[in-house]
Structure 1
């Protein structure tokens, strides 16, 4: 299996340390693939492209390719890239686009064959087991019925933009959906590989299982 980078959704100042670690892992020998489709209707893709360049060009990553259409893509198409960056926006819209294009299956195949994927905010949430962790922030304007994510993180659901006042929402979510939750603040990142998750950034992550809430400190590694 490959490596999954999960960002809590902060701006580039919040995620600078995490982004640097990501860049160091993927190198610069191949271009980075950027998928901004979660921002459809929220910002122009041209603005999205300028933003991703402002994040990674200063870190030495100059070659970035953007896809705004996910139809008819294959594993072979993805293998020309060093990694895939799935940006934030509306989580329901993003997952709907993945399902309708069958890109969800291509993406899972890519990860299972050793690929590296970075998910920011909505891009992180869809890599978890269930996307209703976004329901307090995102509207389901696309009338999505299937809330199952790609489930690439040991059946854990991902909660982004975490704040302390979210705890009651998270516990209600766990009661309804019976999924453990990894909560990431805007200054927290995590990367997952082979059943273990390592925390990075400047703030701890939190793992909610049932009534239990565990702080995972930056630099620490944990089985999940």
Structure 2
């Protein structure tokens, strides 16, 4: 069963192929849960809600519920949803808020029980091994001191909004921390299932491991 989707953080046109694959896997008789909290202080949540509808309404998903306060939620509250979409914004704020509210434990239980999660940009990064792949673009203005992610991507860290100009930064990160990286351009994503990891989208993903860089084309497997 496929239960993890990641995208490099593009707009709805860039992620359309990824979004369509996601919609194919979920129970369309249930609502989609949208968590936009990484955008706190950047874009009003009302605009975030309009955006998520603009992405998924054309694909047949009309029932979307948005949560911006995670503190009172429980694992039972998630059972009515087909899946969870965690949006982009500030990666460190997102990870810190998930931990402070205890929603990190609830989310982990959801994924471990084969719940489907789609992470875009910051939402993708936190599902990887380590969130410091966002340090070149996000400021850590929180109390976050532990940067480990959920580590659902076979011990890879995730680098979003990838451009070739980032190669030196990524190699420096790999050398410093010893973690391999999956780098996703904005029009690229990946899906993870029990059978492994596959690239989806219109452009390749890139693997940085030790001193090497590998290209994985769409529909190719990440090993």
Contact 1:2–1:111 (CA under 8 A) maintained in structure 2: no
Counterpart in 1 of 2:7?
Answer: 7
Large movers: runs of 4+ above 4 Å: none
Aligned residue for 1:73, secondary structure, equals coil
Within-5 A mapping of 1:1-224: 3-194=3-194, 196-223=196-223
**Number of residue equivalences:** 223
Structure 1 residue 196, shift from structure 2 partner:
1.4
Aligned residue for 1:200, secondary structure, equals strand
Contact 1:2–1:115 (CA under 8 A) maintained in structure 2: no
CA distance 1:53–1:189, change in 2 (3 Å): same
Give the gaps of 5 or more residues in structure 1: none
TM-score normalised over the length of structure 2: 0.97
CA distance 1:154–1:195, change in 2 (3 Å): farther
Contact 2:2–2:25 (CA under 8 A) maintained in structure 1: no
CA distance in 1, matches of 2:190, 2:79: 23
Structure 1 residue 2, shift from structure 2 partner:
5.7
TM-score normalised over the length of structure 1: 0.97
Structure 1 residue 195, shift from structure 2 partner:
6.4
RMSD: 1.1
CA distance in 2, matches of 1:142, 1:2: 33
CA distance in 1, matches of 2:195, 2:43: 35
